Amino acid sequence: MPSNKSVSDAPIVQFTNCRILRDHQLQREDLWVREGKILNPEKLFFDEKGSADVQLDCKDSIIAPGFIDVQINGGFGVDFSLATDDFKSGIDLVSQKILSHGVTSFCPTLVTSPPSVYHQVLPQISVRNGGAHGAGILGAHLEGPFISKEKKGAHPEHCLRTFEAGAFQDLLATYGSLDGVQIVTLAPEMRRSSEVIQELTKRGICVSLGHSVANLSQAEEAVQHGATFITHLFNAMLPFHHRDPGIVGLLTSDKIPAGRRVFYGMISDGIHTNPAALRIAHRAHPKGLVLVTDAIAGMGLAPGRHTLGQQVVEIDGLNTYIAGTKTLSGSVATMDTCVRHFQEATGCSVETALEAASLHPAQLLGIEHKKGTLNYGSDADFLMLNDSLYVQATYIAGEEVWRQDVLGM
């Protein structure tokens, strides 16, 4: 039956023989794509009297939304916290390479740096759609420098800053501009942080709590002022204590404003968080869990010495340390590895594991109407995976941008 092109001349592609992650369940149905969007087949059949121009047999693959990584410091020798002449080609390289990990959108993350670095690097990070050139850029994640000295982790102490009388103006002067900034991680116990959180939230920037010694009431106050995220839960914060659970207590707090959800990032690499801690967090607040890689420049490279902003780090197996110490400094995990480890460690469903890397980060950033789901009308950014959750192919806007070669499958 010929297609009826009254609505659009663009070809319609029908992905058959697959299980689609939709409405939190794997459903055995076909996926229809036109002009980079997920198409409602009922409207196509009944309103347009149309049919597919191309049919693709998915050979019983799982089709899931593309992964969204909201905390990635670099990879493949590229460090987003270093101001280099070829910064743009570096970010292009990373966005290309992470397609094989199933990442279709990401937030390039800068760790605590001198103002000169922000002023040079941030103008070179522009929000853009993904495609054959690589994963889409959703905006920068600025992790620091307004964080706690006691919980600085791998962040250089000499670059840390506090909010002075100007508070928000201090932040603007440090970063130079907030154009293209999507997330800011700060320590909520810092003086004047409340007004900064309110100002950032007003501008549509997600505020995350991290690298902090905040107690629970300070964390709750930050959420009441607009903070919605926790940067790598358990890492670089006070450990859980039964009399004052600190930031971790937000997972079960009864002081969260009605209609608001607190999300939390987890580095599910088997190194940063014991599987038992991962299970505790997931069982306490499953709908808030967002998988992040926190990957550094050494991801995808052999063990040895690499950088994380101003610091030299050493990769030893899957561990990454500040050189000469045992301070963890980011990870070398890939997003698909984190998804598999999360599922294995928690025993959660395949659907839950996949949504922690797609739906939840999209909800955190308020983009779930176009990313993170396979609902009708949303962007056709999706993955084909096998039952063990290994990525077989990555699609952006309905176009194949990466495929596992047959020999490697």
Task: Convert the pLDDT of each residue in 186-196 to its tens digit.
Answer: 999 999 999 99
Q: What does DSSP say about strands 181-186 and 140-143: parallel, antiparallel, or unpaired? A: parallel
270 annotated as belonging to a binding site for a ligand: no
Query: What's the Cα-to-Cα distance from 376 to each of 22, 38, 129, 163, 370, rounded to whole Å?
Result: 10, 5, 19, 45, 9
Query: The whole model's pTM is what?
Result: 0.96
236 annotated as belonging to a binding site for a ligand: yes
User: Hey, what amino acid is at 195?
Assistant: E
Beta strand residue intervals within 39-115, DSSP E:
54-65, 67-72, 74-75, 78-79, 103-111
pLDDT of residue 3: 45
Task: Convert the pLDDT of each residue in 79-91 to its tens digit.
Answer: 999 999 899 999 9
pLDDT of residue 4: 45
222 annotated as belonging to a binding site for a ligand: no
Q: How far apart are CA 389 and CA 391, in angstroms?
A: 6
Average pLDDT, the chain: 95
* Residue 50 confidence (pLDDT) above 90: no
Catalytic residues: 294
pLDDT of residue 406: 61
* Residue 2 confidence (pLDDT) above 80: no
Which domains are seen in the chain, by residue range?
13-64+373-403 (2.30.40.10), 65-365 (3.20.20.140)
* Residue 1 confidence (pLDDT) above 60: no
- Map tokens 């070179």 to a residue: 124
For the chain, the distance separating the N- and C-terminal CA atoms, rounded to the nearest angstrom, is 36
Q: How confident is the model at residue 317 (pLDDT cuts 50, 70, 90)?
A: confident
Q: How confident is the model at residue 46 (pLDDT cuts 50, 70, 90)?
A: confident
Q: Name the percent of the chain lying above pLDDT 70.
A: 97
Mapping DSSP to helix (H, G, I), strand (E, B) and coil, where does residue 140 land? strand
Q: Name the percent of the chain lying above pLDDT 90.
A: 92
Q: How far apart are CA 317 and CA 83, in angstroms?
A: 28
Task: Convert the pLDDT of each residue in 136-160 to its tens digit.
Answer: 999 999 999 999 999 999 999 999 9
The torsion of the CA quartet 311, 316, 317, 318, rounded to 10 degrees, works out to -40
Q: How far apart are CA 325 and CA 341, in angstroms?
A: 26
Q: Is 83 exposed, middle or buried (0-12, 13-18, 19+ CB in 10 A)?
A: middle
pLDDT of residue 318: 86
Asked whether 229 and 207 are in contact (CB, 8 A), the reply is yes
191 annotated as belonging to a binding site for a ligand: no
